[in-house]
Amino acid sequence: MADDGTVLVDQPDDGVVRLRLNRPQARNALNNAMRLELARLFTELDRDAAVRCVIVTGSDTCFAAGADLKEFASLGAAEVWRLDAPRHWKAIADCGKPIIAAVAGPALGGGCELAQHADIILAGRSARFGQPEVSVGIMPGGGATQRLVRALGKYRAMKLLMSGEPIGAEEALAIGLASEVVDDDALQARAVELARLIASRPPVALRLLKQAALAAEDTPLAAGLMLERRAFELLFDTADKREGMAAFAERRPPRFLGC
C-alpha cells in the first residue's frame, strides 16, 4: 500500500494498520488529495484479509483542523458537487473493519467528521472536537448533522453545530463523543493496545457485529433485532465459532483465522 505523502501508513502490530494524516504545514487540513487517498486506503484495507483493525490518527499535536479552506473558498456549488466528496466519505463509512480514531489536539470540521467515522474514539487530553463551519458561512457536509444527532441526541448536537464552538476531551467523553480519554503521551500506545486486542477477536464476528450495530441508527427495533439474530445464527457455521468454544472449554487462548 504505497502512500502519496498526505497519509502515512505503518503496521504497529500484527493485523493492525495505522493511517497517519500528514499535512503538517496545513495542520492536517483535509484537501481533495487527502480525501482521495483515505478513500483508496480504506477500500484496500477492507479487502485485505490480513488487516483486522485500522487506526486513524494525526500528529502528536493535531488530528485534523478541518477542510482546507484555501482549496474550497473560491469554488461554486457545481464545482463542489464535482469533487464528489460523499463518495470518498462512503469508502470510510463502508469499511467493515473495526476503526479506532486516536485524537490529539484539534479535530475540527472535516477532522471531527473523520473521527466520527470511527467505531471507537480515543482522545488525548489535548483533544478538541468541534464543527465550526457556521463561523465561515457554511455548514457541515461530511455527515456531522446526521451522526452527531444520532450519537449525542438533538440538544447536545445542536449546541455543537450551531455555536461552532469546540469542546475538550473530558466534555466529549461526558456527552458520548469519545470512548476514552488518556494522557497525550500514552495515546498511541493505548490505541495500538486496543487495536491489538480487537485484532485478536474473530474477524467475521466483528464484521457482522459492526453491521448490526450501525444498522441500529436507522432501523426499527424489530428489524434490528432480526438482523442481529440472523447474524448470530450465521456465526454458528464458522470455524472461528468452533475454535472459540473449544478454546474456552480447554482453557487456552483462541486462534481465530477469520473463517
Active centre residues (catalytic): 67, 110, 113, 133
CA distance 185 to 19: 18
CA distance 11 to 157: 35
- Measured from the Cβ of residue 220, the count of other Cβ atoms closer than 10 Å reads 9
Contact 175, 116 (CB under 8 A): no
Q: Cα–chain-centroid distance for residue 5?
A: 20
Strand (E) positions, 59-176? 99-103, 106-108, 120-124, 128-130, 167-168
Nearest to 180 by CA among 125, 137, 133, 226: 125
The CA-atom distances, in angstroms, between 240 and each of 9, 201, 213 are 29, 9, 20
Instruction: Specify which residues 67 forms β-bridges with.
Output: 30
Q: Cα–chain-centroid distance for residue 69?
A: 23
Q: Cα–chain-centroid distance for residue 92?
A: 8
Which residues fall within 8 angstroms of residue 256, CB to CB, at 6 or more apart?
200, 201, 202, 203, 240, 243, 244
Instruction: Specify which residues 19 forms β-bridges with.
Output: 9, 56
Contact 171, 143 (CB under 8 A): no
Contact 104, 60 (CB under 8 A): yes
